[in-house]
């Protein structure tokens, strides 16, 4: 590994930006959508199939991997890339968000958090230092700071205290990460929906200095309007020359709205999780393939999509295998959804580069407003 981690902006249109992140394991075109490979697999997909959709980078979950099969075992077997057969960039989360979601199963203190495994009840501890060690053992290319995130709504005092603790942990994460050429560490802005707390958080992160900056603590129940209000200022509080990553977002229209507000990277389980329950994302909105109206429909899910589900199968077949809970139903629907998300990102990158992102957004919203093709 010789190349350094770098980010270059290539064009902007309004607040929307397109560019590229360089890593020793390959380039990441931005705006980028990262499929979620929770436990060392993007469920229902071979890694080469994920790549075929156009994904440049995957996300792995520290919480799941540390419990099973454990970071130490993955390290002994050569790291997560080789273990899961994905040689391109991987971003790992810090474990913080998922541990905080455990509710009664976890206990927070100023040094870190102790929690019980959802798998077998065994006791574990995460601190900024331990999270950095786990992400290093996994071989992650983009490492996230260990932070704490309250679910919204929460009162201002709680949000402020949580943000300040997270900023202390960000400094400890940076110290523990050390100097690792070719690997990047991202800080995470917190502060809920409070503009001044977001500004304070951004200031503290800038003072520490990171390769990239995430916007954390959104998409936790506040709703799209409140999230967009926050994104009207939060990205611009962060350095313009570094990638900005909005964590855990979202639905296609959330993603388009976030890119329009200056976000460069996103991840979400929606395309994969929805695929397994028969929900397809299309340019005309969400289609529930299990709905009876598709049972006799010989047409493709989306005639304009190039994925195998749309190229080689009818809505009737997808309806049948999804209803019958056949494994291929989950595989095809997941592939389609990941393809739709990557096509969405490619469309936005092209439109931003050509200075026609407003027109692209108008077309995106008009197609959704039309709704799905009528019953045959
Ligand atoms: Zn498709």
Q: What's the pLDDT at 360?
A: 98
Ligand-binding annotation for 217, yes or no, is yes
What is the predicted pLDDT for the residue at 2? Answer: 52
Q: Are 204 and 308 in a shared domain?
A: no
Give the domain-ending residue among 214, 242, 267: 267
Q: Are the CB atoms for 219 and 258 separated by under 8 Å?
A: no
Instruction: Tell me the pairing of strands 142-144 and 184-189.
Output: parallel
Tell me whether residue 359 is in a domain.
Answer: yes
Ligand-binding annotation for 147, yes or no, is yes
The answer to the question of residue 185 being in a domain is: yes
In a shared domain, residues 288 and 163? no
Could you tell me if 354 and 211 lie in one domain?
Answer: no
Do 251 and 300 sit in the same domain of this protein? no
How far, in Å, is the centroid of ligand 1 from the Cα of 228?
29
- Number of neighbours of residue 346 by Cβ within 10 angstroms: 14
Q: What total of structural domains would you count in the chain?
A: 2
Residues 283 and 186 in one domain: no
Residues 37 and 77 in one domain: yes
95 annotated as belonging to a binding site for a ligand: yes
CATH number, residue 120: 3.20.20.105
Q: Is 306 annotated in some ligand binding site?
A: no
Q: Convert the pLDDT of each residue in 234-267 to its tens digit.
A: 999 999 999 999 999 999 999 999 999 999 999 9
Catalytic residues: 93, 267
Burial class of 29 by CB neighbour count within 10 A (0 to 12, 13 to 18, 19+) = middle
Distance 301 CA to ligand 1 centre (A): 7
Residue 324 domain-assigned (yes or no)? yes
Could you tell me the residue range of the domain that residue 238 belongs to? 6-267
| Overall pTM > 0.95 | yes
Query: 81 labelled as ligand-binding?
Result: no
- Is 1 within a domain? no
pLDDT score at 1: 45
Ligand 1 centroid vs 193 CA: distance in angstroms? 36
Let me know whether 223 and 111 are in one domain. yes
Is 145 annotated as a binding-site member?
Answer: no
| 343 is known to lie in a ligand binding site | no
| CA 57 to centroid of ligand 1, rounded, Å | 20
Together in a domain, 67 and 95: yes
Regarding whether 289 and 259 lie in a shared domain, the answer is no
How far, CA to CA in Å, does 117 sit from each of 67, 98, 121, 296? 7, 11, 5, 45
Helices (H), the chain: 47-52, 62-67, 71-76, 80-84, 96-100, 128-138, 156-177, 195-208, 224-231, 234-237, 252-260, 270-275, 308-312, 315-323, 327-353, 357-370
Cβ partners under 8 Å of residue 173, min gap 6 = 94, 128, 131, 132, 145, 146, 185, 187
Q: For residues 301 and 287, is the Cβ–Cβ distance under 8 A?
A: yes
Whether 97 has a binding-site annotation, put simply, is yes
| Final residue in a domain of this structure, among 243, 267, 291 | 267
Residue 196's contacts (CB-CB under 8 Å, 6 or more residues apart) are none
- Of 267, 288, 311, the last residue of a domain is 267
Q: Return d(Cα 288, Cα 311) in angstroms, integer.
A: 18
Q: How far is the CA of 345 from the centre of ligand 1 (A)?
A: 15
Ligand 1 centroid vs 141 CA: distance in angstroms? 30
Question: What DSSP state is assigned to residue 104?
Answer: G
- Looking at the fold, whether 85 and 42 belong to one and the same domain comes out as yes
pLDDT at 152: 74
Weakly modelled stretches of the chain, pLDDT under 70: 1-3
Cβ atoms of residues 149 and 193 within 8 Å: no
70 and 119 share a domain? yes
Do 72 and 172 lie in a common domain? Answer: yes
DSSP result, 210-253: -SEEEE-S-SSSS-HHHHHHHHTTHHHHS-TTS-EEETT--SHH
Q: How far is the CA of 160 from the centre of ligand 1 (A)?
A: 44
Burial (CB < 10 A; 0-12, 13-18, 19+), residue 21, is buried
Is 176 within the bounds of a domain?
A: yes
Helix orientation angle between 327-353 and 315-323, rounded to the nearest 10 degrees: 130
Ligand 1 centre distance from Cα of residue 361 (Å): 21
In a domain, 18, yes or no: yes
């Amino acid at each position: 590994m010789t190349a350094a981690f770098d980010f270059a902006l290539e064009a902007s249109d309004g607040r929307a930006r397109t560019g590229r992140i360089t890593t020793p394991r390959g380039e990441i075109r931005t705006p980028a959508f990262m499929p979620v490979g929770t436990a060392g697999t993007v469920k229902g997909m071979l890694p080469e199939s994920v790549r075929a959709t156009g994904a440049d980078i995957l996300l792995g979950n520290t919480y799941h991997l540390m419990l099973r099969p454990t970071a130490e075992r993955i390290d002994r077997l050569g790291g997560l890339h080789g273990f899961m057969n994905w040689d391109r960039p991987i971003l790992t989360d810090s474990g913080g968000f998922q541990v905080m979601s455990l509710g009664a199963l976890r206990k927070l203190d100023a040094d870190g958090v102790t929690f019980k495994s959802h798998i077998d009840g065994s006791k574990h501890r995460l601190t900024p230092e331990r999270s950095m060690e786990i992400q290093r053992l996994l071989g992650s290319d983009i490492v996230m700071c260990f932070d704490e995130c309250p679910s919204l709504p929460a009162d201002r005092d709680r949000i402020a205290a949580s943000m300040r603790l997270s900023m202390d942990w960000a400094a400890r994460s940076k110290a523990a990460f050390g100097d690792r050429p070719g690997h990047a560490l991202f800080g995470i802005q917190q502060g809920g929906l409070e503009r001044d707390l977001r500004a304070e958080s951004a200031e503290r992160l800038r003072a520490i200095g990171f390769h990239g900056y995430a916007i954390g603590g959104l998409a936790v129940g506040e709703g799209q309007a409140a999230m967009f209000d926050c994104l009207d200022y939060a990205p611009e509080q962060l350095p313009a020359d570094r990638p900005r990553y909005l964590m855990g977002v979202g639905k296609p229209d959330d993603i388009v709205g976030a890119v329009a507000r200056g976000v460069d990277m996103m991840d979400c389980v929606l395309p994969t999780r929805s695929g397994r329950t028969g929900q397809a994302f299309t340019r005309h909105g969400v289609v529930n393939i299990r709905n009876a109206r598709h049972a006799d429909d010989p047409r493709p899910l989306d005639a304009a999509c190039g994925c195998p589900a749309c190229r080689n199968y009818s809505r009737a077949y997808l309806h049948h295998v999804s209803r019958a809970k056949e494994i291929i139903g989950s595989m095809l629907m997941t592939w389609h959804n990941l393809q739709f998300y990557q096509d969405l990102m490619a469309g936005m990158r092209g439109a931003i580069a050509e200075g026609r992102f407003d027109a692209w957004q108008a077309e995106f919203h008009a197609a959704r407003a039309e709704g799905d093709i009528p019953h045959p």
